[in-house]
Amino acid sequence: MPMEKKFSTFIILIVLIAAPFSLKAQLYGNEWINYSQQYYQIKVVNDGLHRITYSTLINEGIPLGTFDPRQIQIIYKGEEQYIYVQGEGDGVFNATDYIEFYAESNDGWFDENVYSNPADQPNPDFSLFNDTAVYFLTWTTSINNRRITVETDRNFTGYTSETYVNYTERDNYYSTYYAGETDVNGITTPEYTDCEGWFDSPMSINTQTGGPQVFNRTISTPYAYLSGPQASIEFLVIGESNYSGLAPDHHLLVSYAGQSLDTTYEGYVPIKVNKMVSPASLGNPSTTFIFTLPDDLNSGADRNALSYIEIKYPRQLNMDNYAKMKFSAPDGALSKAYFNFNGLSTPAVDSCLVYDITNHRRILTQRSGSNLQFLVPNSSSEKELFISYESAIVQVSSLPPVNNDLLNYAKFVDYSDTQYDDVDYIIISHRSLFLKATEYAAYRQSTGYNVLLADIDVLYNQFAYGINKHPIAMRNFVRFALTEFADTIHGLFLIGKGYRAGDSPYNYRFNSTYNAQTLVPSYGIPPSDIMITSGIVDSYYQPAIPTGRLAARNYT
């Protein structure tokens, strides 16, 4: 009887041991930290302009009177960001002053580290673990830090408005988690593969009754500028089945923007399509993609899933009543490019700002009714711009310190300090379990080990750029310890319950209850604590340190 193809567990082990983690040169993630400075977290969940007021900083206990506001820095992904600090020129952070900067939520940029081959990551635009980014506020001893240039020119005489901008519309699909190819028992490897992650609900020949199966997806494409350059379209579909005795076992037709794709393929593979099309072929206000499974291969399991659709197209200067908009603009022939947008909401009670993200400029604008005018200095290359209503600026209300320890308040733990040289046993736990975790550490200490008890939240900030629940934080910390600690580490013990990031209604990626209950995460789907350190110093499945866990939720 025909059935879905499965590959044997024996073959899994041979293949994966023969193909270990990519041990390319990697940073630990803490290289940007100055351990003598204090750091405060700015949690970002939406792309856009963010503002931190004097009162917020004071309420968080930041000692504004002890340093010059020109010493302030904001760090993201280990890099200092360009910021605007209102009124910093006098060297005093006054009550009417504020910090302003452009920030983005977390995507999948850091997730490539969980893949043996980073190129296998299906969708770098969507995180497997968390969509909240963390920016870090600190201050240094220098007043020469990265600042945004303010552009005040609003004399539009002699300029002709640009006719279009380059706009990107992208829809990520993430209703269902797929764990990738399975073995004869329906089990996947804990390794992340190219067909694993969050995707759309399945497109299958068994979804509908009779005949070819048709699935429509639409993506917004309003106000295409028909005389502009070609638009680019990209989408990714994965095969999510493998039918025994038949190759190829998938047949997919896609119709979109006057284009068509007719492809057959075998098993669990990604199908990425890139196409240039005329902007006139795009729909208004949206473009429809028609995915059809002809069901003509006699395959019992032709199942597919959509990852994303992205369209980059020339767009008229119309805000379409958006409160904020990101786009790019080609360089012009004059010293400045003039933009006259329409489509702003009325009445004009809200002022607007424009940021040139590429060239670090804050541009003042002039608004009249539903129109918005501004000038952007040209800079010999395409520039990324962001328009925001004043009311759409995110008012940051909380900046928790990276450390609540009164002796080292808001400072990172410097694990390169000589006091950690003799550590030979590591415990990682959650702060809510520290009372008992400390007792267990003391017990281990009494048996002859030199024990380090590490707070998992500290590790997220220091070894995963603040990305909460990211397992690479523990992996990077262990890599650091193995390199920097003088003694041999004999054990890694995790104290705290962990749920999986996907492939279950109990996942912590979208379920806030299980997110809160995931005190110490694991690694992979299905989860494996061994994978936290596998491949660091030896063969694929052998952990660098013997690893165990007490999956406790609380003291009882």
User: What one-character-per-residue DSSP string does 200-260 give?
Assistant: PSPEETTSSSSS-EEEEEEEE-TTB-TTSPPEEEEEEEEE---BTT-SS-EEEEEEETTEE
Residue 350's pLDDT is 87
534 domain residue, yes or no = yes
Shared domain for 133 and 94, answered yes or no, is yes
- What tokens does 399 get? 């900046």
Shared domain for 141 and 174, answered yes or no, is no
CB 83 within 8 A of CB 72: yes
Shared domain for 20 and 117, answered yes or no, is yes
366 domain residue, yes or no = no
Shared domain for 26 and 99, answered yes or no, is yes
| CATH number of 289's domain | 2.60.120
Rounded to an integer, the average pLDDT of 227-233 is 98
Shared domain for 125 and 197, answered yes or no, is no
5 domain residue, yes or no = no
Query: 471 phi and psi, to 5 degrees?
Result: -65, -20
User: pTM of the predicted model, to two decimals?
Assistant: 0.93
Residue 17's pLDDT is 35
322 domain residue, yes or no = no
> In b/e form, how buried is each residue of 230-258, taking b as 16+ CB within 10 angstroms?
ebebebbbbbbbbbeebebbbbbebbbbe
Q: In 83-231, where does DSSP find H-type helix?
A: none
21-35, 115-129, 200-214: which range is least confident on average? 21-35
- The β-bridge relationship of strands 361-364 and 149-151 is parallel
Q: What is the DSSP letter of 153?
A: -
pLDDT tens string 385-407: 999 999 999 999 999 999 998 88
| Three-state DSSP class for residue 372 | strand
Domain boundary among 92, 117, 149: 149
CB 379 within 8 A of CB 151: no
338 domain residue, yes or no = no
Q: Which domain holds residue 238?
A: 168-315
21-35, 69-83, 286-300, 316-330: which range is least confident on average? 21-35
Domain boundary among 149, 183, 198: 149
Shared domain for 172 and 133, answered yes or no, is no
Shared domain for 64 and 96, answered yes or no, is yes
364 domain residue, yes or no = no
CB 16 within 8 A of CB 189: yes
373 domain residue, yes or no = no
Domain boundary among 264, 298, 315: 315
333 domain residue, yes or no = no
- The β-bridge relationship of strands 425-429 and 451-455 is parallel
| 23 pLDDT higher than 60 | no
Shared domain for 172 and 143, answered yes or no, is no
Q: Could you tell me the pLDDT band of residue 151, with boundaries at 50, 70 and 90?
A: very high
Rounded to an integer, the average pLDDT of 27-38 is 97
Shared domain for 61 and 118, answered yes or no, is yes
| 175 pLDDT higher than 50 | yes
| 7 pLDDT higher than 60 | no
Shared domain for 417 and 485, answered yes or no, is yes
